[in-house]
Structure formats: structure tokens, C-alpha cells
Amino acid sequence: MTQTATQAPQAPRQAPAGTSSDAAAATQADISREIETISADYAARTSGLEETMPRRDYPPYRSSILRHPTKDLHHADPETIELFAPVFGHQDVDALEADLTIQHHGEPVGERIVVTGRVLDGDGRPVAHQLVEVWQANAAGRYIHKRDQHPAPIDPNFTGVGRCLTDAQGTYRFTTIKPGPYPWRNHHNAWRPAHIHFSLFGTDFTQRMITQMYFPGDPLFALDPIYQSILDPRARDRLVATYDHDVTQHEWSTGYRWDIVLTGSQRTWMEQETDA
Amino acid sequence: MSTRSTLPPTPGQTVGPFYGYALPYDGDSELVPPGHPGAIRLHGQVLDGNGDPVPDALLEIWQADSRGEVAQRPGSLHRDGFTFTGWGRASTDGAGTYSFTTLQPGPTEAEAAPFIAMTVFARGLLNRLFTRIYLPDHPALASDRLLCSVPADRRHTLVATAAPDGLRFDVRLQGEDETVFLTYPGHDG
């Protein structure tokens, strides 16, 4: 479904219409300037407090402009249902779903990797037996999604979707292929750093989150408004996995480690207080 | 005892545009089968700051059963048609509409109005949002702790409206009648 086959090239090296940025008027220089301005304001803040989450209102990410709430979030004390989370079990997730490289007849193309780590709550307690979902582009930076028209090859041996349950220590482990960077239409010549999407549950509904894991040293970090929407460099770094040679396997795969910390569990505190 | 966390939390990021082949699954939005006794349809639209539909949002609900009991049972990803797990997921369509089949939740706490907890994800939304869906015309609405803490002119954004087949609840990410979104203790945003 790419347009490359039928499209007459208008100029050498011209990107096909499906991925061109005609609708995106800004250049990378424009976006980078906006990122730098917001970043400088943050660095000059007097509070000294670290913002740990992305700004929802972050104009360099153009799609956020009409999709962020303009009013302050309203404080709620969690009530019963919010102090519990859905439960998933082995009837929900097959152990084989944690290996994204065995879902088809052949081996996918690319660098085989293992990504592993622990899901913890804010007090360092493991989130045990809970669902972790991942999805990602293939080694060429192409998603198996009808809306991804980026003219990079689809890999018939790679879908890029996985699931697992954490173990009693909160550990998850996926075998996959290192995703490639991919172009998007936020601005002209916009490229996302390589990433794996992670969907996570805690022990409380209020801990539900979706995020993206990145790879160390990606040259696109500084240019990417989604990554840069987290203003504090310490917070941004928490999305970057660490290369871990102890996870790397002899003549098989390289290894990355990435731990995930959810917001604190209110329910566990209440139970402890009751016990005390 | 403090509820502050000792480890800094991992930041969220947008769900992006391409979750559609990964997160939806067969039966995701059917907490009960459509013909189930007491089944209601919970549906609505997700709208942006221009009032335009958001065709790439993902909504999740989590709720007690009709007796107010919180299910702690697996099976949400492979529904057997009999087990109420209390959790479901729905994607918006090209018109920004979503639809769940579920049960009316019962009250979980004395004097608190029953509600369905909802999480909102979307392309363009850099971190998830939480809200609550209260049932229309419930006698406990007037005294509900959370509703009473919300300015009167915004309270209605948290209450579903009655529809012939169940409940309607629209999510307005921005603008006039913006939905009240919630932050919980320990959240930084």
C-alpha cells in the first residue's frame, strides 16, 4: 500500500506524497527553536522543583495544541474502585507473546534484542503478575498499521506487538527486534527516535500509564518534540534504556534493561496504616 | 504516614497514532455480551478544542459490578461471556465515537454515588487523563464528595446522560464544557 510504485518522482530524492510534509509548514529549525525557548524557561525556573511528567500543553508537538485540557486537573481522593486494578492471568496472556520474533514462519530482519526490567511502584515495591503490553515499528521504522504509509519495507516476519505478565518480582522480559526511527508529519523532515511503546498497569487504577522506551544515545532526542515535552533532563533520561551486557546473550541477542516506576500506591499505604 | 513516593515516577508519553493494531482486541469493549441481562450501552464522542471528533483516542473503563463489588478476576483479554471483570477498552472510530457494553455499577461506599472510572489516551495527548462517569439522576449525586468539590457549572461534565439504550458520555479534551479531568495524590501531572 505504499505510493512509491505509482508515483512519478517530481525531483530526485523527493519523498512520496504519503510522507511529505506539505501540510506541516514548520521546519526542524522552527521546532528546535520552540523547544529551546520552552527549555530555557524551564531551566530558569525559580522553584527548583523537577517536573516528572510531560507537559500536555506542548505546542512544538502540533497535535497537542487542540488536545490538551486548558483547565487544571481536579484533585480527587481515590475511592474504592480506583484503589484496585484489573487482574490479568495466564488465560489472558500466553507466555509466547513475550517473544515478538517467533510470531511468523521466519526470522524477522534486524538486530535481535532482549528488553527486560522491573515494574515498581513509587516505594520500590514490585508490581507482580500484572499486564505489560508493547508495540513498535520494525527494523526499518515501519509499523504494521494501515495509517503508516512510510515507504519502508514491511517485514512479513514481524508484527511488532507483544504482551507479558510480570513475575513475582515485577520483572518483565521481551525478545524483539530493535526498531528503526520513523518519519512523521509534525513538521518538515520530522523523525521520531527509535522507541518501543509500553502500556502498564499497577495495583491501583490511578497508576495506569502508557509511555515509550528509547535507546541510549539516539541522535534524534534533541529534535523530537514528544521526547522533549518532558522538560527536565533527569525525567527524560528515565525513558532511556541502558545497554546491559549481562542481558546480552552469546551469539544470540543484545540486551537492554529498563525499569519502570509507577506513581505510588494509595491502597497499599492504607492497608499498612490499618495494620499498624 | 506520607503518601509521597520515594522513587521518581517514569514519565508518560502519548499513545501515538499506531496503537490500533496492538491494543484493541476481540471483545475489548464488551464487559458483558450485548444480550446479557442488565446490559447497557455506554457510548459517546471524544472531541478536541475545536469541537471536532478525535478519531484516534483509546478509552478504558474500570468499574464495580451492579452490586458494587470490585471484581478481581482475570479474563478481560479473553472473555468467556460469563465472568464480569470490570475492565474494558474501546477505540474511537472515524467519527470520534466509542461504545462499551457493560452493567450499571452499584455503589462501593456508603453515601458515595456510583461511577465508572475512565482513562483517556489519544494521539496528541502527551499523558493519559483520568475522569469519572457518574450515573444520571442518582440520589447520591447531590451529596457526592467529589462532585461537591467541583464548581457547579462544570459538574455536569462528569455525569452521563440517559440514552434509550443506556448512557451517553462525551469526553471534551479542551474548550467550552471541557471535561473535568482528575489528578490523584502522588500524581505529578
How do residues A40-85 score in pLDDT, each as one tens digit?
999 999 888 999 999 999 999 999 999 999 999 999 999 999 999 9
Residue of chain A with shortest Cα separation from B116: A81
Which of B1, B2, B4, B5 best tests the A interface by mutation, with the highest count of A CBs <10 A? B5
Confidence class for position A268, pLDDT limits 50, 70, 90: low
Mean pLDDT of A86-115: 97
Q: What values do phi and psi take at A102, rounded to 5?
A: -120, 25
- ipTM for the whole complex: 0.96
The pTM for the full model equals: 0.92
CB contact under 8 A, B174 and A56: no
d(CA A86, CA B46): 24
Confidence class for position A264, pLDDT limits 50, 70, 90: confident
Given this model, what pLDDT does residue A46 score? Answer: 87
Exposed / middle / buried, residue A106 (Cβ in 10 Å: 0-12, 13-18, 19+): exposed
**B69 neighbourhood in chain A, CB within 8 Å:** none
pLDDT greater at residue A216 or residue A47: A216
The answer to whether residue A192 is catalytic is: yes
Q: Does B30 touch chain A (CB under 8 A)?
A: no
User: How many helices (H) and strands (E) would you count in chain A?
Assistant: 4, 12
**B54 neighbourhood in chain A, CB within 8 Å:** 67
Report percent pLDDT > 70 for chain A. Answer: 87
Q: Within the 127-186 window of chain B, which residues sit less than 8 Å (CB to CB) from chain A?
A: 127-130, 132, 145-146, 149-150, 154, 173-175, 178-186
How do residues B65-96 score in pLDDT, each as one tens digit?
999 999 999 999 999 999 999 999 999 999 99
Instruction: For residue A130, give the nearest of A96, A170, A94, A100 by alpha carbon.
Output: A170
Which region among A256-270, B38-52, B166-180 has the lowest average model confidence (pLDDT)?
A256-270
Average pLDDT, chain B: 94
Confidence class for position B4, pLDDT limits 50, 70, 90: low
Report percent pLDDT > 90 for chain B. Answer: 88
Confidence class for position A146, pLDDT limits 50, 70, 90: confident
Given this model, what pLDDT does residue A37 score? Answer: 98
Mean pLDDT of A210-219: 98
Q: What values do phi and psi take at B44, rounded to 5?
A: 170, -165
**B21 neighbourhood in chain A, CB within 8 Å:** 135, 143-145, 159, 161
Instruction: For residue A193, give the nearest of A230, A154, A147, A158 by alpha carbon.
Output: A230
**A160 neighbourhood in chain B, CB within 8 Å:** 22
d(CA A55, CA A195): 19
The answer to whether residue A143 is catalytic is: yes
Given this model, what pLDDT does residue B189 score? Answer: 67
